[in-house]
Amino acid sequence: MDLILLKKGVQPGSLEAEAIEAGILTEMALWDSDDPSLSTVEKIFRRFGTGDAVGAITLLQTWVDQKRQRQATIARKPRNRLASPLTQLVRRIVEGNPKIRLPELLDLLKEEVGKGVISKIEGDLIYPEQQGGHEDAKPVSRDQLSRRLSTIKKRLMSR
């Protein structure tokens, strides 16, 4: 409330300040929102407006705890990330030949250039096509490809 008083140029503790604070509390007590997401906030403000600060703070803490629990539950859920087209291609190749090594994989990937997944291979970098939700696909280095190959093999072996 002090911020509102400062904006209006009124000294806290004065009669004018008390009148402004009483008006704000009256507005808060009558506040009604049609937005369902604000229903708890509305209840908190209403309690503040009626002078039930302890009840308002308790309700706020309960609401924050519930929100925290919901967010924690969401955060713990596994996510189904959509693998990039390049990773999907490597997975298909590895499923067909689980013992494939990186040099052999690179040779097979060179054959895939221009077929929709790989735009070009220059030196140690593989440039994926910019497509289907992966418009920001960055070049993949030989080391990164090696790690992808290793991860895919481990997942296949664990099935």
Is residue 16 located within the same domain as residue 61?
A: yes
- Boundaries of domain holding 110: 85-158
Strand ranges for 34-105 from DSSP E: none
Last residue of a domain, one of 44, 76, 108: 76
Is residue 8 located within the same domain as residue 71?
A: yes
Q: Which residues contact 63 (CB under 8 A, 6 or more apart)?
A: 40, 44
pLDDT at 61: 95
Q: CA angle, 56 as apex, 50 and 58 as ends, to 5°?
A: 150
pTM (predicted TM-score): 0.47
For the chain, the domain total comes to: 2
Is residue 65 located within the same domain as residue 22?
A: yes
Q: Provide the token pair at 33.
A: 């929102």
Q: For the chain, which residues score pLDDT lower than 70?
A: 1, 29, 31-33, 35, 80, 131-136
Number of H helices and E strands in the chain, helices first, is 7, 3
Residues in the chain: 159
**Across the strands, what pairs with 121?**
126
